[in-house]
Amino acid sequence: MTDDVTAELIELLRLERIEDNLFRGASRDIGTRYVFGGQVLGQALSAAQQTVEAARVVHSMHAYFLRAGDNEKPIVYEVENTRDGGSFSARRVVAIQHGKPIFVCTASFQVVEDGAEHQQRMPEVPGPEDLAPQPPYPADALEQVPAKLRRWLMRAGPFEFRHVWPRDEVDPPKRPPLQHVWFRLAGQVDDDPVLHRSLLAYASDFHLIGTATLPHGISYLHPNVQMASLDHALWFHRPFRADQWLLYSCDSPSAQGARGLARGSIYRQDGVLVASTAQEGLIRLVAQDG
């Protein structure tokens, strides 16, 4: 059974079909300065999937964020049928706002096949039932945050997160570039695996590049920090449900040149690796006036 915030997200991922390979999606202002990158990832995957036969399942997508998205305006998604082979299909998706591309990605789909299997073991961490939900930010801490971002911190989003090592985004300590976060959709949804993959694409943009800031004691909430996703890669390995607990295990091997790289592995609660991610993002420290 879905609640209002979950139903709103599902509706966000259900695009309006304008033409055979042309779709339009609404934008949601969730308190971020620009369109949340996960929204564009999820909508682009939804658009591409609608042009591929149902028997072919997405196994990877590779994206670049070209311009900041306007969260007051809809986004048009143009899908190019790059190839339909015997086992694989490839699609190129361009997201357009105000007549300009803001995002481009390629997605690859495959007929389900059997083959050799192995996977990396899930880290040994406490389960979500053993971790407390994120407590509300204290009022005095929220006063230090710009009003728009304050709404982001106070909102009840469609996903629930439980951090193995909680972090204070207002005054973060320095620590190694590694974090483990349990997450799940707040409401129950139907069994459609296409929907669950689009939901995971949406959620995969949370927490990932923030891992690269951990050794530096900085946060996207700090006025002298500029952060933005530059690219994003997502590989789907095995079946999962976005409304059941998943562990996002993230690390950052490098930060340099005002950019940080982060990698993620997503596991079901039974230890099965269901997806992998990678993202490079802008992490720029700017001078403050005065």
CB 14 within 8 A of CB 192: no
Half-sphere exposure of 17 (CA within 13 A, CB side): 9
Q: Which of 89, 205, 219, 252 is catalytic?
A: 205
The answer to whether residue 205 is catalytic is yes
Report the distance separating Cα 158 and Cα 267, nearest Å. 19
Catalytic annotation on 229? Answer: yes
- Residues 276, 264: Cα–Cα separation, whole Å: 6
* 22-25 β-sheet, strand order: 16-19, 22-25, 75-84, 88-97, 100-111, 56-65, 225-236, 273-285, 259-268, 246-256, 178-185, 159-163
d(Cα 204, Cα 264) in Å, to the nearest integer? 9
What are the phi and psi torsion angles at 242 (to 5°)? -75, -15
Q: Which of 27, 39, 229, 249 is catalytic?
A: 229
Residues 6+ apart with CB under 8 A from 168: 141
Decide if 190 is catalytic: no
Characterise 217 by phi-psi region: left (phi > 0), alpha (psi -120 to 50), beta (else): left
Q: Which residues are catalytic?
A: 205, 229, 279
